[in-house]
Amino acid sequence: MLARWIDNQVWLGAAQAGVTMVAALLVVWLTGRLKLGLKKEILISLGRGVGQIVLVGFLLTVIFSADLWIAVPVILVMIVAGSVMTIRRVRNIPHALRISFIGISAGAGLVITVMTLMGVIEQELTSIIPIGSMMVYGAMNTNALMMERFRSEVTSHVGQIEAGLALGASPEQVIRPYSRRAISAALTPNINGLRSLGIVWIPGAMAGMVLSGQNPAYAGFYQFVVSGSIFVTAGITVLISIVLLRSQVFSQAEQLLLRSEADN
């Protein structure tokens, strides 16, 4: 209906967002009536959500008109932001920012580069940046999950880890079961996502392609490219991060450095 009245695509988007905002405000009003205490939080989230994504939209309009090389600094900024957000979610891990940055850069950088050079991701900013952002976002979440789980596994098994060291085992040997659990826990949501792909949900990339009139079968294949690449990125990221993490939680003399805050 809106499209019949509005010709300009940007104004059409604004009108569609406006309708969505009205629906969201209705929910705010209802939660206010139920006295859930969420009114302020929802209003702030709605405001931030619309502001940030519209700003990014305008920014991308400018970026998409630039040369292809602009993708490198844009993705780099995303990796830095992702690394900073990761360390906000993990506590008490030395050099967590550096570990996250190296892990996400290696994972996302490698996959984006290889996929772009092979032509799996089209060599256009309109492909590289959105798909790259999904990979960085996926790597960030998986890495944060892995780091937090690793910290929690280590700090809740200090006795067994030190018993293993006292028996002459190397740090790699004593930490192995906890590293495995951390990686497994972090990758599980990705694996579940791949398993339920298309059955439980149609992810954003495929939904967007179908909405814009692309062949749904091609959209399906492409969605697998995106989801599979996100999984590969996340896998490489956590495998690199765990190696770096292991080197941070033991001293040169093979002493356990990471303990719970209560032990310090």
Partner 1 sequence: MTRQKHHNAFISVEGLTYAIDGQPILSDICFEVQVGERVAVFGPSGAGKSTLIRLINRLDEPTAGMIWLNGEDYRQIPPGSLRRRLGMVMQAPNLFPGTVADNLCFGPSAHGETLTEAEIRALLSGVDLVGYENRNVSSLSGGEAQRVNLARTLANKPEALLLDEPTSALDQAAKNEVEETIKAIIKSQNMTFILVTHDRAQVERLAERVLLLEAGQLVADGSVKEVLDARSVD
Strand partners, 256: 250
- Cβ 154 vs Cβ 144: under 8 Å: no
52 lines the binding site for partner 1 (CB under 8 A): no
262 lines the binding site for partner 1 (CB under 8 A): no
176 lines the binding site for partner 1 (CB under 8 A): no
Residue 149 CB partners (closer than 8 Å, separation 6+): 181, 182, 185, 186
167 lines the binding site for partner 1 (CB under 8 A): yes
User: Which is nearest to 263 in space by CA: 156, 174, 171, 178?
Assistant: 156
CA distance 182 to 137: 19
144 lines the binding site for partner 1 (CB under 8 A): no
- Cβ 154 vs Cβ 161: under 8 Å: yes
Nearer to partner 1, 109 or 171 (CB): 171
Nearer to partner 1, 41 or 254 (CB): 254
Q: Which of 55, 163, 194, 207 binds partner 1 (CB under 8 A)?
A: 163
User: Which is nearest to 237 in space by CA: 170, 190, 171, 178?
Assistant: 190
Which tokens hold the place of 136? 């960085």
164 lines the binding site for partner 1 (CB under 8 A): yes
CB 258 to partner 1: min, Å: 14
Q: Which of 52, 184, 192, 251 binds partner 1 (CB under 8 A)?
A: 251
Q: Which of 42, 169, 225, 244 binds partner 1 (CB under 8 A)?
A: 169
Nearer to partner 1, 20 or 260 (CB): 260
Q: Which of 173, 184, 192, 247 binds partner 1 (CB under 8 A)?
A: 173
Count of CA atoms in the C-beta half-sphere (13 A) of 183 = 19
User: Which is nearest to 100 in space by CA: 248, 250, 260, 261?
Assistant: 248
154 lines the binding site for partner 1 (CB under 8 A): no
- Contacts with partner 1 by CB under 8 A lie at 159-160, 162-170, 173, 251, 253-256
